Structure 1
Amino acid sequence: MTDHTPVRRTELSTRDPDVARTAIAEACGEHRPHFRGGRREFRFAMRIVQAGPLALYRAAHSMDAWVESGPYPDFMAAHVVRGRFRFVEGDDELLVPAGGVGRYPSRRSVLHWTDVIGTTVRLPMEQVARIAQRRVETPPRDFRFLGLAPVSPAMAHAWAHLSTFLTRMAATPDNGLDQPLVRASLTDLVATTALAVFPNTTMTAAYVPEPRRVAPSVVRRAQAYLEEHAAEPVTVAQVAAACGVGPRGLQAAFQRHLGYSPLTYLRQVRIARAHRDLAAADPATGETVAGIARRWGWTSPGRFAAAYRETYGSRPSETLRK
Structure 2
Amino acid sequence: MSGANATATRRHELSTREPDVAHHAIAEAYAEHRPRFAGSRRDFRFLLRTVQAGPLGLDRIVHSMDAQARTGPYPDFMTVHVLRGRFRFRDGDEELLAPAGTVARYPTRPSVLGWTDVVGTMIRLPHAQVATVAAARTGIPERDFRFLGLAPVSAGMARGWARLSVFLHRTGDDGLDQPLVRASLIGLVATTALAVFPNTTMTAAYVPQPRQVASAVVRRAQAYLHERAAEPITVPQVATACGVGPRGLQAAFQRHVGQSPLAYLRRVRLDRAHRDLLAAEPGGADTVARIALRWGWASPGRFAAAYRETYGRSPGETLRE
Instruction: List per-residue Cα deviations over 1:33-56 (Å, max 9, x = no partner).
Output: 332221211111221111110111
Partner of 2:286: 287
Sort the Cα spacing of 1:4 and 1:286 in 2 relative to 1 into closer, same or farther, 3 A: farther
Partner of 2:29: 27
Partner of 1:317: 316
Structure-to-structure mapping, 1:174-213, within 5 angstroms: 174-213=173-212
Say whether 1:231 aligns with 2:230.
yes
Offset at 1:5? 2.0
Report SS of the residue matched to 1:176: helix
Q: AA paired with 2:246?
A: P
Partner of 1:258: 257
Whole-angstrom distance in 2 between the partners of 1:167 and 1:86: 23
Offset at 1:297? 0.7
Offset at 1:190? 1.0
Sort the Cα spacing of 1:255 and 1:51 in 2 relative to 1 into closer, same or farther, 3 A: same
Offset at 1:284? 4.2
Whole-angstrom distance in 2 between the partners of 1:64 and 1:214: 57
Offset at 1:212? 2.5
Which stretch of structure 1 is more off in the superposition, 204-213 or 263-272? 204-213
Partner of 2:109: 107
Whole-angstrom distance in 2 between the partners of 1:209 and 1:16: 55
Offset at 1:206? 2.4
Match of 2:13 among 11, 14, 26: 11
Instruction: List per-residue Cα deviations over 1:136-180 (Å, max 9, x = no partner).
Output: 2122111001111111111111111211222222xx4x5410001
CA contact (8 A) 2:184 2:296 kept: yes
Partner of 2:121: 119
Q: AA paired with 1:203?
A: M
Unaligned runs of 5+ in 1: none
User: Could you tell me the TM-score, scaled by structure 1's length?
Assistant: 0.93
Report SS of the residue matched to 1:177: helix
Match of 1:166 among 168, 185, 191: 168
Q: AA paired with 1:125?
A: H
Partner of 2:94: 92
CA contact (8 A) 1:65 1:114 kept: yes
Q: AA paired with 1:111?
A: L
Partner of 2:216: 217
Unaligned runs of 5+ in 2: none
Whole-angstrom distance in 2 between the partners of 1:200 and 1:254: 26
Structure-to-structure mapping, 1:236-251, within 5 angstroms: 236-251=235-250
Whole-angstrom distance in 1 between the partners of 2:169 and 2:260: 30
CA contact (8 A) 1:24 1:32 kept: no
Report SS of the residue matched to 2:133: helix
Which stretch of structure 1 is more off in the superposition, 147-156 or 276-285? 276-285
Which stretch of structure 1 is more off in the superposition, 68-77 or 205-214? 205-214
Whole-angstrom distance in 1 between the partners of 2:251 and 2:138: 14
Partner of 1:80: 82
Whole-angstrom distance in 2 between the partners of 1:202 and 1:21: 35
CA contact (8 A) 1:22 1:32 kept: no
Whole-angstrom distance in 2 between the partners of 1:17 and 1:283: 54
Identity %: 72
Whole-angstrom distance in 2 between the partners of 1:149 and 1:4: 31
User: Could you tell me the TM-score, scaled by structure 2's length?
Assistant: 0.94
Q: AA paired with 1:185?
A: S
Whole-angstrom distance in 2 between the partners of 1:250 and 1:137: 12
Whole-angstrom distance in 1 between the partners of 2:6 and 2:294: 13
Whole-angstrom distance in 2 between the partners of 1:98 and 1:116: 9
Say whether 1:57 aligns with 2:56.
no
Structure-to-structure mapping, 1:143-158, within 5 angstroms: 143-158=145-160
Offset at 1:108? 0.7
Which stretch of structure 1 is more off in the superposition, 104-113 or 275-284? 275-284
Whole-angstrom distance in 2 between the partners of 1:194 and 1:119: 16
Report SS of the residue matched to 2:185: helix
Report SS of the residue matched to 1:188: helix
Which runs of 4 or more aligned residues in structure 1 lie more than 6 Å from their structure 2 counterparts after TM superposition? none
Instruction: List per-residue Cα deviations over 1:100-145 (Å, max 9, x = no partner).
Output: 1111111111111111111111100011101111222122111001
Q: AA paired with 2:200?
A: T
